[in-house]
Structure 1
Amino acid sequence: MVNGGTLNPDAVVVPAVSVASVRRALYVRLRRLALGNYYRLVHLNYDRELLATRQQTRGGTVRSYELYNRHGRDEMLAALEARCGPESVVYDVGANVGVYALALAAGEPDRHVVAVEPAPVVADQLSANVRANGFGDRIAVRRCGLGAESGERDFCVSTYTELSGFDRASATRWEADVAAVEPVPVERLDDLIAEAAPPDVIKIDVEGEAASVLRGGRDTLERHRPTILLEPHSDGLDGAEPDVCRELLTDAGYEIAVQDDFWIAEPTSTSAIT
């Protein structure tokens, strides 16, 4: 403040606040409120198995306790469906509540899906959706994570369940909080297929852990040469995952086609390049 041409030392200087920053703060608060309420309602629906709605997906119509058709029309799901035959074995790594697994099983009774989900609550929701569709003979739910080494790791359960992961940074994106930290089993992909049929196609969406999945599946990539659809994550994370995944796939003899939000990795030959 200027009083008679001099600076008033008692004046309070209020910093200018841009309209953009106010709008951003309001948007963040509204998003947190909306998502928080949505997840609370969805958890109630799953817990009591009240309403399994019919939802149209790229693979056909399924029932789900989700309250809206989340990811059912995704381009990645369309690309995955296009690369699966009627009797394909598909590994859905990071299956979440089963959107992709259900869609892939919907129209093909002889297709087999191994749905891998480490989050205990989410794996329960996945199992509920499998039951609602009567797909117990088509979808095998594996309650574990996949990584470079077998063992046990702490898993961060997010208040926005789809963000849950082994990395706290992943679980706290979009203003979410870590609701709990629970130890979960982790297996190598190479060990997992010793107990099941080898994959024709693998989908990987694991919130920043894709490189670990690939490291634990080196033998699978070299011997069985599955097609891989991978969603590389860098949003809110350290940003290194895409580069590491690209190197691992290239070294294993895969050619990568980059789409808007995911990669399609096809083997360049029937055996790995050495």
Structure 2
Amino acid sequence: MATDDDAVGPASRVRETIETLEGLAHVGYHRLSRVNYEHRGIARRNRTPAGSFRCYEPLNRHGSDAMLAELDATCGPSAVVYDVGANVGVYALGLVAAAPNRRVVAFEPSPAAADRLRANVALNDLEDRIDARTWGIGDEDGTRPFYRSTNPELSAFDRESARRYGASVADVRSVPVRRIDSVAASGASATSVTSDAADAGDGTRLPPPDAVKIDVEGAAPAVLRGAKETFESHRPTVFVEVHEALGEHVPRETRGVLSDVGYAIDERTGYWRCEPVASDG
């Protein structure tokens, strides 16, 4: 007699097989990307809903990305955007490509991804509008082990996140981590820099954000906890990429932190748009 376990087992194995094949495809893609970046080979046009730019990615990235489209439509022409988990810079580049007065601070802790981010920024001569920072963003200032995955899209501060979809941990490095509250200026008139001077502890501050995009696998709650003062003072619009494969505990914790800082969640497919709740006063 067949049992529920008999029915669920094959379906589960099929899903695991599909995820493994998808993971292997990603690994192959990123190997091709690595060669192209190392040799500064083909620089192709990448078209996104926000804007187009040149980059070293072999394929068009985020060409129909709904979160990027809404983020672009939400930001003003002179907005400051914090791109937390910038990867190779597709969001950052798309957001400034057609908005010459907009500025992005792009945070990317993976050394390999940060090198690619800077290569793409330099390719488009946008160093004056994209401030690339090789930091992780969290709820404590210091350093943390960062797990680089064989699928770079999965590299994270969490070992298990780096091993999803058949990927494995390629290496572990200690990277700097900053709270948004530690690096964001308290005043909107603060000047910014385009170096890692703040990492040296010299008191340099970045301009406060008008919008924050967060795509950090399972680390969103820590990012939000470390931005409490900034969110309460400046009330930026927040976009959070939702990673359902990480389980329910991450979205649940993320909801709790957003509620604590007075934000309401408007759920979209695959991401949340979060806005400050109006004060009764």
Q: TM-score range by the shorter chain?
A: 0.7 to 0.9
- The match for 2:220 is 210
Q: TM-score, normalised by structure 2?
A: 0.85
Aligned partners of 1:238 and 1:115: how far apart in 2? 27
Aligned partners of 1:23 and 1:150: how far apart in 2? 42
Amino acid at match of 2:222: S
1:96 aligns with 2:106: no
- Which of 32, 49, 54 is 2:40 aligned to? 49
Correspondences of 1:118-129 after superposition (within 5 Å): 118-129=109-120
- Which of 241, 245, 263 is 2:272 aligned to? 263
- The match for 1:250 is 259
Aligned partners of 1:25 and 1:108: how far apart in 2? 42
1:200 aligns with 2:210: yes
- The match for 1:14 is none
Superposed CA deviations along residues 175-203 of structure 1, whole A, max 9, x for unmatched, are: 00100000000000001113111000000
Q: Which 4+ stretches in 1 moved above 3 angstroms?
A: 18-33
Does structure 2 retain, via aligned residues, the 8 Å contact 1:71–1:99? yes
Structure showing greater radius of gyration is 1
- The match for 2:129 is 138
Name the SS of the counterpart of 2:265 in structure 1. strand
**Deviation at residue 27 of structure 1 after TM alignment:** 4.1
**Deviation at residue 36 of structure 1 after TM alignment:** 2.3
Aligned partners of 1:21 and 1:221: how far apart in 2? 41
Does structure 1 retain, via aligned residues, the 8 Å contact 2:87–2:117? yes
Aligned partners of 1:105 and 1:96: how far apart in 2? 16
Aligned length: 255
- Which of 132, 149, 156 is 1:165 aligned to? 156
Does structure 2 retain, via aligned residues, the 8 Å contact 1:72–1:99? no
- The match for 1:231 is 241
Q: TM-score, normalised by structure 1?
A: 0.87
Aligned partners of 2:35 and 2:154: how far apart in 1? 19
- The match for 1:15 is none
Name the SS of the counterpart of 2:264 in structure 1. strand
- The match for 1:191 is 182
Name the SS of the counterpart of 1:55 in structure 2. strand
Residues 84 and 30 (structure 1 numbering): CA distance in 2 closer, same or farther, change over 3 Å? Answer: same
Aligned partners of 1:167 and 1:22: how far apart in 2? 25
- The match for 1:182 is 173
Superposed CA deviations along residues 1-22 of structure 1, whole A, max 9, x for unmatched, are: xxxxxxxxxxxxxxxxx98688
Amino acid at match of 2:179: R
**Deviation at residue 54 of structure 1 after TM alignment:** 0.4
Superposed CA deviations along residues 242-270 of structure 1, whole A, max 9, x for unmatched, are: 1111111112111110001100111123x
Aligned partners of 1:31 and 1:171: how far apart in 2? 15
Aligned partners of 1:54 and 1:44: how far apart in 2? 18
Consecutive unaligned residues in structure 2, runs of 5 or more: 1-8, 186-204
**Deviation at residue 233 of structure 1 after TM alignment:** 2.5
Amino acid at match of 1:257: D
Range with greater deviation from structure 2 (21-30 or 43-52): 21-30
Does structure 2 retain, via aligned residues, the 8 Å contact 1:118–1:184? yes
Aligned partners of 1:66 and 1:151: how far apart in 2? 32
- Which of 45, 62, 67 is 2:53 aligned to? 62
Does structure 1 retain, via aligned residues, the 8 Å contact 2:20–2:165? no
Aligned partners of 1:179 and 1:188: how far apart in 2? 26
**Deviation at residue 220 of structure 1 after TM alignment:** 0.4
Does structure 1 retain, via aligned residues, the 8 Å contact 2:212–2:236? yes
Residues 153 and 74 (structure 1 numbering): CA distance in 2 closer, same or farther, change over 3 Å? Answer: same
User: Over aligned residue pairs, what C-alpha RMSD do you find?
Assistant: 2.1
Aligned partners of 1:29 and 1:220: how far apart in 2? 40
- The match for 1:35 is 26
Residues 32 and 244 (structure 1 numbering): CA distance in 2 closer, same or farther, change over 3 Å? Answer: closer
Consecutive unaligned residues in structure 1, runs of 5 or more: 1-17
